[in-house]
Amino acid sequence: MRCLLRYLSGRRHYKKGKSLIMGVGKLPREPFNVIVTGVGGQGSVMLSRVLANMLVMEGFRVTVGETFGASQRGGSVMSHLRISEAYTWSPQIPKGCADIIVALEPIEVIRILPSYINKNVLVLSNTRPIYPVGVIAGESSYPSLEEIKKCVERLVCKAWFIDATDEAVKMGNSILGNIVLLGALSALEALPLRRSFFRDVISEMVTEDNVSLNLAVYDRGVELIKQDFDFRV
């Protein structure tokens, strides 16, 4: 409960600072560490790139470490974002030092939690599983979403599970699950993420006719979290 209060006070901190002129004290911790995890091909590299560029526009120094290459072929992938007021930090987050984990695939949260957990960590996860081939072949089993949720909620400060891929499918393209999560992340207000910066960054990355779809998907992500907050209040 205490961590939740600390998290909420962090939230208000940004609401007050809406003028968003860069200055000292905008990060709850220095550096602030975000892990984006998922399965190769889900768009985690894209998500971390867009997120990092939005934060650079906000005036931060950002280091992003990525694993890809062979991991692209159905393996687990992870991007490490180090967000800082002043320094270039190492492209690998030290163990026990994640502040937020954003997961495009739910079981990947539990894969990395034991290494990167601390008492303040927040988790934002997609609900849609991608079964490892070993599970498909019947050599190993995949826990139910309920079991995953229960496990994560027992361990972390606060966790949100949203149907990011399903929402993206409804809106026309399953790959945009990553942008649903990004919109949701912005709504947590744990980091200063501006919609206008998202528009600027995504406009550089996708064709013109795809910008409005990306914005709509981002907004849907925001809504999913707002609903969650309203429900709780």
Residues within the interface to another protein (CB under 8 A): 39, 41, 49, 52-53, 56, 61-71, 73-76, 88-92, 94-97, 107, 110-111, 113-115, 117-119, 128, 130-138, 140-143, 147-148, 150-151, 154-155, 165, 169, 174, 204
DSSP 130-166: ---HHHHTTSS----HHHHHHHHHHHSSEEEEE-HHH
CB nearer another protein, residue 52 or residue 191: 52
Least distance (Å) between residue 219 CB and another protein = 22
CB nearer another protein, residue 42 or residue 187: 42
Report strand pairing: 100-103 vs 122-126.
parallel
Least distance (Å) between residue 71 CB and another protein = 7
**Does 31 sit behind a cis peptide bond, omega within 30 degrees of 0 on the bond before it?**
yes
CB nearer another protein, residue 117 or residue 225: 117
Least distance (Å) between residue 160 CB and another protein = 18
Residue 201: strand, helix, or coil: helix
CB nearer another protein, residue 13 or residue 151: 151
CB nearer another protein, residue 20 or residue 175: 175
Task: Provide CB contacts within 8 A for 59, sequence distance 6+.
Answer: 22
CB nearer another protein, residue 51 or residue 187: 51
Is 55 in contact with 94 (CB distance < 8 Å)? no
Task: Provide CB contacts within 8 A for 201, sequence distance 6+.
Answer: 50, 53, 54, 57
Least distance (Å) between residue 204 CB and another protein = 8
Least distance (Å) between residue 18 CB and another protein = 24
Least distance (Å) between residue 75 CB and another protein = 5
Task: Provide CB contacts within 8 A for 85, sequence distance 6+.
Answer: 24, 26, 27, 30, 60, 61
